[in-house]
């Protein structure tokens, strides 16, 4: 299956465009015992026979593996013949800064970036493959249906070996204490409803108490037509540090958890309020801390804000709507890069990609 190089314990398998067109990526995905064979392949785009690009793109759309392009040939915008293939691949890394094209991620060290992605997939192949499948399946669905697809994938992975390995490595944790104050604050000023996440002692982690209070507050705006504007922010050093990790692994019934995530979560409500809601973020926005804001029509970030989506590294996929909200802002290709690598990006990069809409003073 193409050339193989080693990066630590991760094997990097590379094929050419002609190989892809000939079916080299379409060998069986599962080996004996359900073990994933070569969950990710690198496709060398520097020598792409123009007559085979369309055939390779068709093959890529029908591939069970993650396909990551590698392009070192200069500005990818000077190679429009690759556009169809870039769109069909799961992600492409190019040498140099990010171009305008949403299908690619720029890298100063091209091979190091690819090696990092492959190593992350190798550590959690089931979660990484599920992330890619969910992104493709949900790409054109209405938001509620796309969130359902995400949650079904999440529930599947909750029973998988990668998530249980993460739980075992983390060790037992006590349940988080009850909120010492109202977990969400609500204030009305004219036609504006101001909602503040108010568990600064837990960096506004998206746990049960905060989630339920936020859903209730957002419901007020949905029921009251006199509210013309909603502003959502967070108290303390961070807007939201993501799901409360002390609650992870506590769900005895994944079917019930699926309904809570989809029917009892905040993502669908923020999407319904899209034209009326502005989210103001700061500090560390991890997991749900950017998944939920990304549904809003406007996201304003303080200059020191950082964003990270670590769920695949935990054997899961984003579960607060991130496989829906994030790619609809930045494209499924860059979204997969963030999901699989769990890399942290700053406000400036988030703005250039469209993940946020404004950095005050920038």
- The predicted-structure confidence for 270-327, as pLDDT tens digits, reads as follows 999 999 999 999 999 999 999 999 999 999 999 999 999 999 999 999 999 999 999 9
Tell me: do 164 and 228 sit in the same domain: yes
The pair phi, psi for residue 227, each rounded to 5°, is -85, 110
Q: What's the CA gap between 41 and 206, in Å, rounded?
A: 35
Of 89, 123, 157, which residue sits at a domain end?
A: 123
**Hey, is 189 helix, strand or coil?**
strand
Q: What are phi and psi of 359, to 5 degrees?
A: -120, 110
pLDDT score, position 75: 81
Let me know whether 200 and 341 are in one domain: yes
Same domain, 11 and 66: yes
Q: Are residues 157 and 107 in the same domain?
A: no
- Decide: 187 and 224 in contact? Cβ < 8 Å: no
**Is residue 351 classed as helix, strand or coil in its secondary structure?**
helix
Q: With 90 as the cut, is the pLDDT of residue 3 above it?
A: no
CA separation for the pair 25, 20 (Å, rounded): 6
Backbone CA torsion sign across 114, 352, 280, 215: negative
> CA 58 from chain center: how many Å?
25
**Are residues 280 and 349 both part of a single domain?**
yes
As a whole number of angstroms, the distance between CA 262 and CA 194 comes to 24
Mean pLDDT across the chain, nearest whole number? Answer: 93
**SS3 label, residue 106:** strand
Residue 361 lies in a domain: no
Which of 39-43, 86-90, 94-98 comes out lowest in average pLDDT? 94-98
Spatial distance between the Cα atoms of 88 and 174, rounded to a whole number of angstroms: 45
Domain that holds residue 258: 143-353
- Which of 123, 155, 186 is the endpoint of a domain? 123
Answer yes or no: do 105 and 167 share one domain: no
* CATH number where 292 lies: 3.90.226.10
* Tens digit of each residue's pLDDT (9 = 90 or more) over 27-46: 999 988 888 999 999 999 99
Same domain assignment for residues 243 and 344: yes
Q: Looking at the domain assignment, is residue 128 inside a domain?
A: no
| Domains: count for the chain | 2
Q: Are residues 119 and 261 in the same domain?
A: no
Between helices 161-170 and 143-158, what is the axis angle to 10°?
Answer: 70
Task: Give the distance, in angstroms, between the CA of residue 262 and the centroid of all CA atoms in the same chain.
Answer: 17
**pLDDT at residue 342 is higher than 70:** yes
Please give the model's pTM, rounded to 2 decimal places: 0.94
Are the CB atoms for 21 and 62 separated by under 8 Å? no
Residues 164 and 112 both lie in one domain:
no
Phi-psi region of 93 (alpha: psi -120 to 50; beta: other; left: phi over 0): beta
Pairing of strands 229-234, 277-281: parallel
Q: How far is the C-alpha of 342 from the C-alpha of 336, rounded, in Å?
A: 10
* 115 in Cβ contact with 12 (< 8 Å): yes
For residues 285 and 238, is the Cβ–Cβ distance under 8 A? yes
């Amino acid at each position: 299956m193409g050339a193989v190089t080693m990066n630590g314990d991760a094997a990097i398998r590379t094929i050419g465009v002609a190989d892809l067109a000939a079916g080299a990526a379409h060998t069986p995905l599962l080996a004996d015992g359900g073990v994933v064979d070569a969950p990710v392949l690198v496709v060398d785009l520097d020598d792409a026979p123009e007559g085979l690009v369309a055939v390779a793109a068709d093959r890529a759309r029908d591939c069970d593996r993650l396909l990551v392009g590698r392009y070192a040939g200069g500005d990818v915008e000077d190679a429009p013949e690759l556009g169809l293939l870039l769109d069909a691949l799961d992600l492409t890394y190019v040498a140099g800064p990010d171009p305008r094209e949403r299908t690619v991620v720029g890298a100063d060290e091209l091979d190091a970036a690819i090696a990092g992605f492959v190593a992350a997939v190798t550590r959690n192949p089931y979660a990484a493959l599920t992330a890619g499948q969910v992104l493709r399946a949900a790409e054109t669905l209405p938001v509620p249906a796309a969130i359902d697809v995400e949650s079904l994938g999440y529930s599947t992975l909750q029973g998988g070996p990668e998530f249980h390995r993460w739980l075992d490595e983390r060790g037992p944790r006590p349940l988080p204490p009850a909120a010492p104050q109202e977990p969400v604050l609500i204030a009305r000023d004219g036609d504006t409803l101001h909602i503040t996440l108010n568990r600064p002692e837990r960096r506004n982690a998206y746990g049960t108490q905060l989630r339920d209070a936020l859903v209730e507050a957002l419901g007020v705006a949905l029921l009251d037509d006199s509210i013309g504007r909603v502003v959502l922010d967070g108290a303390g050093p961070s807007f939201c540090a993501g799901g409360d990790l002390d609650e992870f692994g506590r769900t005895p019934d994944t079917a019930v958890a699926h309904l809570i995530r989809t029917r009892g979560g905040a993502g669908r409500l923020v999407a319904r309020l899209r034209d009326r809601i502005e989210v103001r973020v700061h500090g560390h926005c991890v997991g749900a801390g950017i998944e939920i804001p990304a549904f809003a029509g406007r996201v304003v970030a303080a200059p020191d804000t950082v964003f990270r989506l670590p769920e695949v590294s935990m054997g899961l996929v984003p579960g607060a709507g991130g496989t829906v909200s994030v790619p609809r802002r930045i494209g499924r290709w860059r979204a997969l890069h963030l999901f699989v690598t769990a890399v942290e990006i700053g406000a400036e990069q988030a703005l250039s990609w469209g993940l946020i809409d404004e950095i005050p003073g920038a």
